[in-house]
Structure 1
């Protein structure tokens, strides 16, 4: 506050700096701490309340929950910018996992809802991880989430993704990690010490991954050439073996299930031979969704759809920051400090994780 002693113009007061949550005493630093505690360290809000109380600070759980939702709403414009950039990626990975929402209109508290995940890398560089809450696992959800995306979609074997592949005319690639797991399960039920058919499949799949390790630092064109030279013969052997075993093994056995999965997914599993950008598996999506699964074990459920949406937005920013090598707390402080005055796309783009100093794409 300033006042001039020589005139009667009164007291001049500088406008208050924009706050992340107007009319709240929550600073950007405090909000960032609470967000990171829950969404990185998997510390439920009731335990944060207890920790603050030990320090002599009364912060009710419902206040913390309200802050989470309000902070996530502040992040919404930045999330939408991330979504726009994600859809320019040549390849998008998708996965989904369950989440329980207790108070949802026309649904029982025990009903199963889903957290959907997309991960991609836009042409300008960087990595983007987006979470979205939906009460359904229907095939229309990927159509809604991917919008006009026209590239390569990598998923596991869930057929719900086939609808968006047809709708958008996408190249739909499968996941060799999922195929391999089914043969691992089949090997577990083999007689101890005996080498069986599952071992033959696993040996050939292992060779595919060995080629990919050699191709890791190559360009897409160089990788494709190496695959056609070294991976194609492995695929041919695997195909011959599959055809020889498919109708000899009972379909309800562990090995039969693995064989039928491999057969059904074969066209998607071999797409990597046509494009050096297509990865061998969907592990980037599975790795990205794992922090949510770990956090869910601690906080168990969301009270409302609004809370689930808030979690999706916050996980999106935090996991995207981590994917670009940023320290989550420092990034969240910057975002919460600058978002209140970021009103244009240009200003929002300055906050994109891969444009921050020290960002390194994982």
Structure 2
């Protein structure tokens, strides 16, 4: 605490060192102390017992070599690379400027690989938690690995996040991620067909996607049924919100019945406005359908999945949770680009799963990384059965 007093009267110039203090105004300045690395030298001793046996002490886990970086430096480096999307070279520059200690890009790469290895028990626990969760959101987005298009798959709940990178987008990748096989909860997604092949799960479709498509059909194709359907979906969403606020777990059956009847009438009106095109003589195969017809077919065939949020209050109206979780991949691509190796990509998404889950559960990312490098892998709290 520092005190600042006027030295002389601004009117007559008299010395104010012995003047009465009338009041005090306070302001606080938050700053960092000068940063410099703390070097701790560890020495192990060898001692010989009277019986002649020679005993040697052990170095602590962080002292892995004659000179090495401690848990906090490693945690900061990995946090910058994976939490803040900095390239390795820029991370090395930041660490050099902040700590006045050079850290090579090769050392930072080794730190990320070490963190990936250390989170192995966390990843297994995470898969277990998601596999038995009541609702899990799924999404995928493209990424570059070795200059080629790969896919980062995400499985998310309110408290858990798992990322997985694979050269394929569909069933092979989903099986390898090992959440959807045998999953019996509600899988919420954008309606991409490979998700729907997992028949043990109950499915819920993202209505944010439907609203965008309905807006296009309404504004660009001039079809009134689309605006009616968008209005109905939003009306049901509002009704679910009001019921939830009152502590209810389901809509009134009569109200739900009226919504379902309106839904069917709107779909029927849509089909009337979009008849199947006549088959061209001599041409084989499926007849081409308009965007409106394809949307109608989905709304009709997957009515239960579209309206799952209205019959199960644990299900969201949209898949925004998962979309938010995979959106950071777009940021990663813009700032740092892709990965040069599969091992580097897998290490990145595994550690990112660790950080994202920790943040969701109220933990500081750098602190859980410090724990990790200190020999303690933080484990998430899993949802109850």
TM bracket (short chain): 0.7 to 0.9
Whether contact under 8 Å (1:208, 1:234) holds in the other structure is yes
Q: TM-score, normalised by structure 1?
A: 0.77
Contact 1:133 1:308 (8 Å CA) reproduced: yes
State the Cα distance separating 1:236 from its structure 2 match.
2.6
Find 1:84's aligned residue among 105, 116, 128.
128
TM-score, scaled relative to structure 2: 0.73
Distance 1:209 1:274, change over 3 A: closer
**Aligned-pair distance for 1:217?**
5.1
Higher helix share: 1
* 1:314 aligned partner: 351
SS in 2 for 1:100: strand
User: Residues of 2 paired with 1:215 and 1:39: CA distance?
Assistant: 40
Question: Once the 2 structures are TM-superposed, how far is the Cα of residue 261 of structure 1 from its aligned partner?
Answer: 3.9
Deviation at residue 285 of structure 1 after TM alignment: 1.4
Equivalent residue number for residue 361 of structure 2 = 324
- 1:149 matched to which residue of 2? 183
Q: Does 1:185 align with 2:216?
A: yes
Residue 282 of structure 2 corresponds to none
What RMSD in Å do the two structures reach over aligned CA positions?
3.3
Among 216, 221, 230, which residue is 1:202 paired with?
230
Q: 1:236 aligns with which of 261, 265, 270?
A: 261
Q: Say how many residue pairs are matched.
A: 324
Structure number, greater radius of gyration: 2
Give yes or no for the alignment of 1:267 onto 2:286: no
Corresponding residue for residue 359 of structure 1: none
Match of 2:379 among 348, 352, 360: 352
Contact 1:46/1:61, CA 8 A, preserved across alignment: yes
3-state SS of the aligned residue for 1:133?
strand
For each residue in 1:325-352, what CA deviation from the matched residue of structure 2 results, as whole angstroms up to 9, or x when unmatched? 222112222233233xxxxxxxx6xx32
Gap change, CA 1:272 and 1:3, over 3 Å in 2: closer
CA distance in 2 between counterparts of 1:77 and 1:22 reads 25
1:48 alignment partner in structure 2:
91
Which residue does the alignment assign to 2:35? Answer: none
Q: Counterparts of 2:253 and 2:315 in 1: how far apart (Å)?
A: 13
Q: Counterpart in 2 of 1:160?
A: 194
Correspondence for 1:171 among 195, 198, 202: 202
Q: Please report how far the alpha carbon of residue 19 of structure 1 lies from its aligned counterpart in structure 2 after TM superposition.
A: 2.9
Unaligned ranges ≥5, structure 2: 1-43, 276-287
Q: State the Cα deviation string for residues 135-160 of structure 1 (Å, max 9, x = none).
A: 11122332342243222222111001
Q: Deviations over 1:39-69 (max 9, x none)?
A: 2222222211232344543323233222212
Pairing partner for 1:130 from 145, 156, 162: 162
- Within a 5 Å distance, the mapping from 1:268-347 to structure 2 comes to 268-339=305-376
Q: State the secondary structure of the residue aligned to 1:150.
A: coil
Asked if structure 2 preserves the Cα contact closer than 8 Å seen for 1:40 and 1:291, the reply is: no
